[in-house]
Amino acid sequence: MRKGILTIAAVGLLTTGGLTACSDDSGNGSADSKKTPKIGVILPDSKSSPRWETADRRFLEEAFKAANVQYDIQNAQNDKTAFQTIAEQMITSGVTALMIVNLDSGTGKAVLDKAKSQGVATIDYDRLTLGGSAQYYVSFDNESVGKLQGEGLAKCLTEKGAKNPVVAYLNGSPTDNNATLFKAGYDSVLKPKFDSNEYTKGPDDAVPGWDGPTAATIFEQQLTATKGKIDGVLAANDTLGNAAISILKKNKINGKVPVTGQDASVEGLQNILAGDQCMTVYKAVREEAKAAADLAIALAKGEQKDTGQSVKDGDRDVPSVLLTPKAIYKDNVKDVIADGYATKEQVCTGAYAKFCAEAGIS
């Protein structure tokens, strides 16, 4: 793995109930227990994935309300200046713990360092800030996410009977460390197939900001460059996957070319049910939000917790909670609905009702 990529230093997921409290005597970016606990959360945007507003905000609010703590959740809408302004306002308003989903590591580090200098405890949520100073990191095992995507694409290509298929990549944003981890995961599955000439490596492009319209433009260029010879698309999330599908539909080859995804968005699940998307990766955001909220609440009260896990960021071991992702295909879309992440009413609308019935979603 390339230098600078996040590596897992400890494995074996602990349930959030298994986190144990301990006293904090480090004096390092820790909340003053005499202050009124207040938690600030900065979400990254609402375009790269619908999850940030439809899932993360909802589940974090549920956890904070249940604990009866003050909180402030804001969305930077992919604006680095706004991100820093929100952070400064939250720190000035007296938050005792700050949780961020960085837009890039540089901006994230500046915010984390400012919070630390003001005695505000910090958590990296979902994305690790490389070179940062967050006291905790809560996410999923993101290389495993990518591995599931690679395995999923291989499974779907086999089911299509593809021979020496050309595989194109639509990678996530180059400023997102998670995108690097996802790619490391799916490369671990697909690169051996390229090296053995079982598969042919096609175009390999990153999509700035995880932006859907940009991804559609990039994929159309990929299709043109290969003269229409793309047999599988490793799209790093459902937004990018849907962008590729829109171009495949335009060329009347949707459903013939397997496309991956991630996030189990309503749109992604519908694309899977309709046969236009091969698979997605479900990350139980409720569990992620609950784990992060539990840590934030403890930190806001001046407490520390032992997670039993850590990740390596340069020379620093960052105490972490890493959850396990799950591959979703047509036959288990119902699991996402049963878990409450998406509802039948959201997914099984209009033309998708018959697909839901066929998939056993009742």
Weakest-pLDDT range from 17-26, 277-286, 314-323: 17-26
Give residue 29's pLDDT.
53
- Mean pLDDT calculated for residue range 306-314: 95
**Residue 120 · residue 303 · CB < 8 Å:** no
Give the residue with greater pLDDT, 59 vs 4: 59
Q: Is the pLDDT of residue 199 over 90?
A: yes
Give the CA distances from residue 252 to residues 161, 231, 232, in Å, rounded to whole numbers and listed in that order. Answer: 19, 14, 15
Res 262: pLDDT: 97
pLDDT tens per residue, range 38-49: 999 999 999 999
Burial class (CB in 10 A: 0-12, 13-18, 19+), 23: exposed
Chain centre distance of CA 70:
26
Whole-angstrom Cα distance, residue 316 to residue 308?
Answer: 15
Question: Per-residue confidence at 32, pLDDT binned at 50, 70, 90?
Answer: low
Confidence of residue 35 (pLDDT cuts 50, 70, 90): confident
Residue 199 DSSP class = S
Other CB atoms within a 10 A radius of the CB of residue 73 amount to 17
Average pLDDT, the chain: 92
pLDDT higher than threshold 90 for residue 3: no
Is the pLDDT at 197 greater than 80, yes or no? yes
pLDDT tens-digit profile of 330-341?
A: 999 999 999 999
Cα 268 from Cα 14, distance rounded (Å): 29
What average pLDDT does this structure show over 155-172?
A: 97
Question: pLDDT, tens digit, for every residue of 291-300?
Answer: 999 999 999 9
For 210-249, the pLDDT digits (tens) are 999 999 999 999 999 999 999 999 999 999 999 999 999 9
